[in-house]
Amino acid sequence: MLPETQIKFSALSDPLFWLESIPHLWFPLSLVVLYLGIVVALAEGLNRLTTTNGEFTRKIVHIGAGQVILLAWWFDIPAWIGIGASAIASWIALLSYVIPFLPSINSVGRKSLGTFFYAISIGILIAWFWAIEQPQYAAIGILVMAWGDGMAGLIGQNFGKHPYEVLGITKSWEGSLTMMVVSFLVTSFILLAVDGNIWQTWLVSLAVAVAASGLEAISKLGVDNLTVPVGSAAVAFAFSQVLS
The count of domains in the chain is 1
Q: How far is CA 129 from CA 126, 140, 183, 223, in A?
A: 5, 11, 19, 21
Pairwise CA distance, residues 102 & 92, whole Å: 9
E strand segments, 104-154 = none
pLDDT tens string 94-115: 777 777 656 656 554 455 677 8
Per the structure, the complete domain to which residue 145 belongs is given by 4-243
Q: Mean pLDDT per segment of 10 residues, for the chain of length 244 residues?
A: 42 48 70 84 77 74 88 88 87 76 56 81 95 96 94 85 82 92 97 95 97 90 89 97 90
Q: In b/e form, how buried is each residue of 67-79, taking b as 16+ CB within 10 angstroms? A: bbbeebbeeebbb
State the pTM of this model.
Answer: 0.83
